[in-house]
Amino acid sequence: MPERWLAPKNIPGDQATGAYVCNWMTTCVVIDLAKHIIASNSADLIFNYDLARPVDQEIMTVYNIRCGSYNIVATVTSDPATAHRWVCEIINLHRNHAYRQRCLLVGLGVQWVSRHAATLQLCVGSNCLIFQLHHADHCPNVLRSFLVDQNVIRVALWDNAIGAMLWGSPHALWVGRVGDVRRAAYALMRCGRGATMGQLAQEILGIPGMQMDEAVACSDWEDQELTFQQVEYACHAVALPLLMALELRLWEYFL
């Protein structure tokens, strides 16, 4: 019998990795909530097994989000242990390269309600964490440290209000240095000072149609179960600035 790992709810099969996951050597079997096999080839699945653990209740949902031609694995959770594990895996993955050289780029963002952060989003490479601050009983220390780690360059379409909202969250989070992608785009490419995310994605990355939906931006980010549209929005909000920072070689300005 397969081990029970994860059970996302109300998510189309092409938007989530599945309900139950079993890993036997190199073969992965995904079973939906009705216990029908829907996939059996691990190469066809986007799932980070190291970020999962056997549990008796749902602790996270994993999505495959398209960002232009890129695939982003988005982990949505309010579980501090899952957030802890995600950060540790990222540091271990990059420890001998970008992290050691103090140039690990991390997309940073928040979604808020009433001027305080309801979610914290981080994106490194093709992995995104959406940590539901509003529902988390605490913030793991490793995540707090990651937000101020001098080996990390956090990048965003920065607004000082983001830092204020994180500090004003129930967990009072402090953020270290942040590279402002919009300011860098203006300095290096003469993009408009007030350029939107969609405009910058088009100009810097050549990705059209990435306008951020205002209706989703104003939705309820304190909801326990975020919609796919919310997850997609939150993921794009950090993945796009990260991709732009990589294209602009933003780390060179911090070394």
pLDDT tens digits, residue range 237-251? 999 999 999 999 988
Q: What is the pLDDT of residue 160?
A: 74
Q: What is the pLDDT of residue 192?
A: 86
The model's pLDDT over 96-114, given as tens digits with 9 standing for 90+, comes to 888 888 889 999 999 999 8
The per-residue pLDDT for 51 is 39
Q: What is the pLDDT of residue 8?
A: 36
User: For the sheet containing 27-31, what is the strand order?
Assistant: 20-24, 27-31, 37-39
How high is the pLDDT of residue 131? 98
Sign of CA dihedral 74, 78, 79, 85: positive
CB 242 within 8 A of CB 107: yes
Strand arrangement, sheet containing 127-131: 60-67, 70-77, 127-131, 116-124, 104-113, 152-156, 178-180
Residue 58: the pLDDT is 62
Looking at residue 22, what is its pLDDT? Answer: 27
Residue ranges, the chain, pLDDT below 50: 1-57
Q: What local confidence, expressed as pLDDT, does residue 194 receive?
A: 86
- Tell me which of 3.40.462.40, 3.30.230.80, 3.30.420.10, 3.30.70.260 is the CATH number of domain 59-253: 3.30.420.10
Considering the chain, tell me which residue range(s) the CATH 3.30.420.10 domain(s) occupy.
59-253
Q: pTM value?
A: 0.78
Give the up-direction half-sphere exposure of residue 162: CA atoms within 13 A in the CB hemisphere. Answer: 23
Strand pairing category for 152-156 and 178-180: parallel
pLDDT at 255: 60
- Residue 1 has a pLDDT of 29
Question: What pLDDT is recorded for position 96?
Answer: 86
